[in-house]
Amino acid sequence: MLQLGVELGLFKAIDDEAERRWTVIELAQVIGADANLLYRVLRYLFTIGVVRENPDSTYSATVATRWLAMDAAENDVKRNNATNRAMFQTMPVILQRQQTQWAADPGSIEISSSSSSLVPSLPDGAAISGFVAMMRARRERPRTWMDVLPLQLLRLSGRDFGAGGTNFVQIGCSPTGEQCRALRAGFPGVLGGMSLQVGRAVVGRFDRTELAGYGIELQVHDPDSDQPVLGAKAYYMKNVLHDFLDEKCVSVLQHIRQACAADSLVLIDEMVLPIADSNHEQSQPSLRMLSYLTAMERTRLQWETLITRAGLQLQRIYTYDAELGDSVIVAVRA
């Protein structure tokens, strides 16, 4: 349905007048589609959150609509759809071969040569770019963790600031997920040094000089290794741990715990799923993470269990998008 909407120019039409409430007939006239067919398509697109259905039976744009209206969306949607279909169709075969057991090591799953681009091997680069773009579109919302976390929690004491302490370390991010500059620019009261830790494969996509202008040190770092910055006020990860199974998550968190001071905070920016009654927007990303990375989204109980196993204590969860469950989890040394 997303691909159909892109090819019809539906999302571009809605986004051209983003504040307008469109009737089905108006949209049908603009894109040249049958109104009865379009009505059914729009009803479905509303259920997956890519258009807004209003009480007066009109339709308007969401954040996802605006992304899908971009020229780059067409290829990304096509790639993602093709890969998703293949993966979801192949998953039952692979699970049957695994006797419905979840492989702790994705590389241990045997797949036939005819499906060598599917689970667990990552798909080709084009398919992955489509997957990442789609996940990003679904997760791009107006509110962020900075809207809900009391940022005074991140301020260094006068003594620590005077000693040149680091107040914010972001671990394991991509260029699109970098938070340090936004934090520095939007909240100048958050003082102290910042460290941005990225993988060797992506470090070349960051401008080290530009980051230095914000007082941000760029470091190459593997999250599952000793944390080089000791005693920071906050260690922050955004959509990192959902890529890993439990044992690796515990190991990553233990490395961070070993670097923590008594007043350090561990900030985990992830989806926190309800134990029951998850909606479509919450359950589908978890299935995608399983099919692409043999990984998972987690419930509050699952997060609390991981955090406790790592020698940390869950202090509080601040939710900034109730529809998706996007939240920042605050943990401290136990």
Tell me the C-alpha distance between 300 and 314, whole Å. 10
- Which among 221, 242, 255, 280 is annotated as catalytic? 242
Q: Which CATH number fits domain 145-281+295-333: 3.40.50.720, 3.40.50.10140, 3.40.50.150, 3.90.1150.10?
A: 3.40.50.150
Task: Give the chain's length.
Answer: 334
CATH architecture label of 2-68: Orthogonal Bundle (1.10)
| Element (DSSP H or E) covering residue 327 | strand 326-333
Picking from 274, 316, 324, 270, the residue whose alpha carbon sits closest to that of residue 299 is 274
Question: Domain residue spans in the chain?
Answer: 2-68, 73-139, 145-281+295-333
SS3 15: helix
**Phi/psi zone of residue 84: left (φ > 0), alpha (ψ -120 to 50 degrees), beta?**
alpha
Q: Phi and psi (nearest 5°) for 168?
A: -150, 125
What DSSP letter does each residue of 277-322 carry, written as one string? ---HHHHHHHHHHHHHHS---EEHHHHHHHHHHTTEEEEEEEEEET
Cβ-count burial of 303 within 10 angstroms (0-12 exposed, 13-18 middle, 19+ buried)? buried
Determine the Cα angle at 177 with ends 293 and 303, to 5°: 55
What DSSP letter does each residue of 107-128 carry, written as one string? GG----GGGTTSTTS---HHHH
pLDDT at 143: 83
Residues near 66 by Cβ (< 8 Å), separated by ≥ 6? 15, 18
For the stretch 22-47, pLDDT in tens is 999 999 999 999 999 999 999 999 98
pLDDT at 179: 92
Known catalytic membership, residue 280: no
Tell me the C-alpha distance between 234 and 231, whole Å. 9
pLDDT at 283: 67
* DSSP structural state of residue 64: H
234 and 265 in contact (C-beta within 8 Å)? yes
Q: Fold identical between 2-68 and 145-281+295-333?
A: no
Determine the Cα angle at 316 with ends 310 and 322, to 5°: 115
Residues of the chain with pLDDT under 70: 72-76, 78-95, 97-142, 157-159, 161-162, 278-295
For the stretch 117-169, pLDDT in tens is 334 444 445 445 555 555 555 555 668 999 999 988 988 766 676 677 788 99
72 and 275 in contact (C-beta within 8 Å)? no
Picking from 308, 146, 139, 140, the residue whose alpha carbon sits closest to that of residue 236 is 146
**Phi/psi zone of residue 172: left (φ > 0), alpha (ψ -120 to 50 degrees), beta?**
left
Tell me the C-alpha distance between 283 and 236, whole Å. 24
Tell me the C-alpha distance between 321 and 52, whole Å. 16
Picking from 296, 310, 329, 318, the residue whose alpha carbon sits closest to that of residue 227 is 310
CA 322 to chain centroid, in Å, comes to: 15
